Structure 1
């Protein structure tokens, strides 16, 4: 069973924090229905298109070490559940039963 770990307010905080970074990092969403979006850098409108309810997690990709630090700092400010990956970050919208999520 999937358990929500973010609400729409927190997703909006994430969206605005990533939108404020220049250049904005690319992202792709992975939905609860198995759909994976294409990479996109437009956070203001595209990220919230269709609502947030189906987002299982969002992968945020970084371009450089400096970009990674900017994204990491923004994620810490909004305090979201996720993990650091080799090419960026993963922010969870839902977690499976028994899986604990660390906060960035």
Structure 2
């Protein structure tokens, strides 16, 4: 069965996310899942590393938080940016694509 991916983010929103996380005193780690199935290792460098290669192939990015206070700080930034995603036990997942029939709330 072919899974159709529908984009839910654009370069502007990805850049808002990148700069929002970069601007935090305690930057969270991130890891992406690409359309080719590659899952990146966690990385904390948002300014250059996150944008290398562009955003077109990011299915989702997992944002990893350190503790409850860090979670709240990251949540406030994500709510301000208003991105499609969900809260996870490790932090947050921001979607770049959704499959046909998949729904997502906005953080």
Q: TM-score range by the shorter chain?
A: over 0.9
Which of 61, 66, 76 is the matching residue for 1:63?
66
Q: Distance in 2 between matches of 1:38 and 1:90?
A: 15
Q: Helix, strand or coil: the match of 2:105?
A: coil
TM superposition shift of 1:19: 0.5
TM superposition shift of 1:68: 0.2
TM superposition shift of 1:22: 1.4
| TM-score normalised per structure 1 | 0.99
Which of 64, 87, 97 is the matching residue for 1:84?
87
Q: Distance in 1 between matches of 2:11 and 2:52?
A: 13
Q: How does 1:1-104 map to 2 (within 5 A)?
A: 1-104=4-107
Runs of 5+ in structure 1 lacking a partner?
none
User: What RMSD, in angstroms, separates the aligned Cα atoms of the two structures?
Assistant: 0.4
Structure 1 consecutive aligned stretches of length 4 or more whose deviation exceeds 3 Å: none
TM superposition shift of 1:45: 0.3
